Structure 1
Amino acid sequence: MRKATPLPAALMAGAVGLGTLSGCSSTAPASSEGELRVVATTTQVGDFVREIVGEVDGVSVYQLLQPGVSPHAFDPSAADLVALTEADIVIENGVDFEPWLDDALASAASDPVVVDSSDGVALLAYSEEEGHEHSDDEHSDDEHSDDEHSDDEHDHDHDHDHDHGEHDPHIWQSAADAEIMVDNIAAALIEADPDNANTYSANADTYLGTLEELDAWIIASVDQVPAEDRLLVTSHDALGYYVDRYDLEYVGAVIPSLDDSAEASALEIDELVALIQETGAPAVFAESSVNPAAAETIAAEAGVTVFSGDDALYADSFGVAGTPGATYVGSMVHNTELIVGSWGVEPAPVPDAVADAANVDAD
């Protein structure tokens, strides 16, 4: 397993014996003596946790956010609060993606170890005026910036500035950053449950290998298109890390905000339509957890294709079981195939390991 960020010794308090393994659930897990109880906040974090836990006995995994639910409008249920009350470890996305978590923990009178999976990710600073720039803060990480998949085309000269608004929390949209998240989660589980450390480490290594192949596949697929033609318009500003990692040109968003519950003004809509026509962006992408009506209207006014319904992107949330975006790898394959396809080219052949993880047919 790749080198992970050291975690507090308090995680050792979560070490336990045997119990049962559960996947994401909308009901609180039954307490069981000797069970390690892990709560994951988002669909992305939940998927990473389950990949690392695998078939280990004695671990329950409870996921707060369910597929298709926007995290920006999330309100924990009574069952969620029970799960938090019983949790040994809570694993969050971080970067203020779960602003409700502190209040939920207080309401649950809970004091679990909270693991920030974003630790080590080079964050993007966000502002409506200037868009995305890397922030050189405590999350910056030499290992990430020297990632083995980077090359001259994909190494960016970023401006480092602390004065460009809040950080973009959608860190998983870069497969390279997802690897850092997985490292952090694996380290937390290993320290909490050292008896199963070898299994966690092996599962993490296997999954990290798949993520590395996924990252390389996205780069190869995108690189078929000239940089100036890699134009993207989405429902809201959720793909900043994807745009940054894979060298896309972000034209704009239907909702010019990190929050998918915000609304665009009539002026902003008119400006986006004009930008689409000016740049030649070929499509507008709706998102699976956002009402597509505004995206469809803007696409119609601009005279371009709209991708919605089954062809919407998975941004803030994964899809339900049986959909292409039910897992992290599946969501990234789905999104990339649609985005690259909108530029008029076929994506590169999907590697076998990536296809298996995404439950799609390899080319």
Structure 2
Amino acid sequence: MLTRRLAIAGALALGLSLPFALPAAAQDAKIPVVASFSILGDFVKEVGGDRVSVTTLVGPNGDAHVFQPAPADAKKVAAAQIVFVNGLGFEGWIDRLVKASGTKAEIVVATKGITPREMADEDEDDHAAHDHKDHDHDHAKGEHDHDHAGHDHGGIDPHAWQSVANAEIYVANIRDALIAADPAGKAAYEANASAYTAELQALDAQVKAAMAAIPESRRRIITSHDAFGYFGAAYGIEFIAPQGVSTESEASAKDVARIIRQIKAEKIPAVFMENISDPRLVKRIAKETNAKIGGELFSDALSDDKGPASTYIDMMKNNITQLSSALSS
């Protein structure tokens, strides 16, 4: 990147036309971009194709809520031409990282245009999922506030990708940002985005059909953190979480007891673990309620290449398979 900048600076200083001043190899170089987490990185790869080189900060099975950027991450951001972020308060550490890196990259918020989902508070919602709010607030004031700043999402749910219709908006924003940075690639980015959007539309129909096939009375589950609100709203499943939107906060004994009572009273059929969460809490709840433990759901991160959710589309297919298996019978 530095060499390219020097070449550009030299060309401008000499008053040369840039396309002729740059060697062919430099013109053909891939655009260096950074994505904040693995799901967003997959979107960027699909749209960017072979014209971009994508570096992901929070990798497979990583938890962006508790991510601690290292000096190497600042170097990655410094070298990028575009930095794609989720926004909606998801990456509480990103502003500090961008500032520390001194990057000149364009910062692109991939959720632009998405209608945010508000997190219900306990005054509005009797579900135990939201009784953690005071606990989370107290924790946010504690000694870890500096290290884990940003976990209080200001009442906004940042997990917008859990609705496939929203994923299509991510793709459009990524396409537009790449075209702005690399006008010569406009046709390629538009073609890639169009093809991938068609795949997403087919996926959306598949998710809707799978969830509609589950008896309505069984469309209620417990998950280990509150990441599926957009999925629930889009596809008619009620997700109840003993922890908050932050995986870093812990459910209190009072929260857990309330969840257990609710499962027993309402005969909630299944509890699920996520790839980024500690499984012990869910296992304890399942043991005390006899609720079925479903398979692993992927919420905030993809699996590695050997796992069942190495792409966004595979992640969503895995999740609906796990939900259907646990709730249909």
Q: One fold, TM greater than 0.5?
A: yes
Distance apart, 1:248 and its partner CA: 1.3
> Counterparts of 2:262 and 2:156 in 1: how far apart (Å)?
25
Provide the secondary structure at the position in 2 that maps to 1:45.
Answer: helix
Work out whether residues 73 and 261 of structure 1, in 8 Å CA contact, stay in contact via their aligned partners in 2. yes
Q: Does 1:294 align with 2:287?
A: no
Question: Which of the residues 313, 317, 320 maps onto 2:297?
Answer: 313
Q: For the residues of structure 2 that align with 1:18 and 1:86, how far apart are their CA atoms?
A: 20
Match of 1:338 among 315, 318, 322: 322
Matching of residue 328 in structure 1 with residue 323 in structure 2:
no
Residue pair 1:254, 1:269 contacting (<8 A) in 2 also: yes
Query: What is the aligned counterpart of 2:33 among 28, 35, 38?
Result: 38
- The one-character-per-residue Cα deviations of 1:295-339 (angstroms, maximum 9, x if unpaired) are 0010110111113xxx31101111111111111011100011111
The one-letter amino acid of 1:238's match is: A
Matches within 5 A, 1:13-162: 35-56=30-51, 59-129=52-122, 130=124
| Structure 1 position 228 matched with structure 2 position 217 | yes
Q: How does 1:143-292 map to 2 (within 5 A)?
A: 166-250=155-239, 252-255=240-243, 257-292=244-279
Q: Compared with structure 1, are the counterparts of its residues 337 and 82 closer, same or farther at alpha carbon in structure 2 (3 Å cutoff)? A: same
- 1:135 corresponds in structure 2 to none
- Residue 343 of structure 1: CA displacement? 1.4
Contact 1:286 1:295 in 2 (8 A): yes
What's the offset of the Cα at 1:274? 1.0
Number of residue pairs the alignment of both structures matches: 283
User: C-alpha separation between the residues in 2 aligned to 1:226 and 1:344?
Assistant: 7
Whole-angstrom distance in 1 between the partners of 2:34 and 2:284: 39
Question: The residue matched to 1:284 in structure 2 has which SS?
Answer: strand
The structure-2 alpha-carbon separation of the partners of 1:173 and 1:19, relative to structure 1 and needing over 3 Å to count, comes to farther
Q: Which AA in structure 1 matches 2:184?
A: D
What is the CA-CA distance between 1:94 and the residue it aligns to? 0.8
> CA distance change for structure 1 residues 194 and 176 in 2, over 3 Å: closer, same or farther?
same
Q: CA deviation at 1:283?
A: 1.0
The aligned amino acid for 1:177 is N
CA contact (8 A) 1:228 1:249 kept: no
Q: Which has the higher helix share?
A: 2
Moved runs in structure 1, 4+ residues, more than 4 A?
Answer: 15-20, 31-35
Relative distance call for 1:340 and 1:19 in structure 2 (3 A) is farther
Distance 1:105 1:340, change over 3 A: same
Q: Is the Cα contact below 8 Å between 2:218 and 2:328 reproduced in 1?
A: no
Structure 1 or 2, whichever has the larger Rg, is 2
Which ranges in structure 2 are unaligned for 5 or more consecutive residues? Answer: 1-17, 127-152
Post-superposition Cα deviations, 1:79-115, rounded to whole Å, max 9, x if no partner, equal 2111111111101011010111110011111231111
What percentage of residue pairs aligned between the two structures are identical? 34
Residue 344 of structure 1, CA deviation:
2.0
Tell me which amino acid in the other structure corresponds to 1:253. Answer: A
TM-score by length of 2: 0.81
Partners of 1:275 and 1:19 in 2: CA distance: 65
2:40 and 2:327 map into 1 onto residues whose CA distance is 31
Q: What is the CA distance between 1:32 and its match in structure 2?
A: 10
Task: Measure the CA separation in 1 of the matches of 2:262 and 2:116.
Answer: 27
| Counterpart-to-counterpart distance in 2, 1:18 and 1:229 | 62
TM-superposed deviation, 1:19: 9.3
Structure 1, unpaired ranges of 5+: 1-14, 21-30, 133-163, 346-363
Aligned partners of 2:205 and 2:230: how far apart in 1?
15
Mapped contact 1:105–1:111 kept (Cα < 8 A): no
State whether residues 110 and 170 of structure 2, in contact with CA within 8 Å, keep that contact through their aligned partners in structure 1.
yes
Alignment check: 8 A CA contact 1:19 1:35 kept: no
Indicate if the aligned counterparts of 1:236 and 1:260 stay in contact, CA closer than 8 A: yes
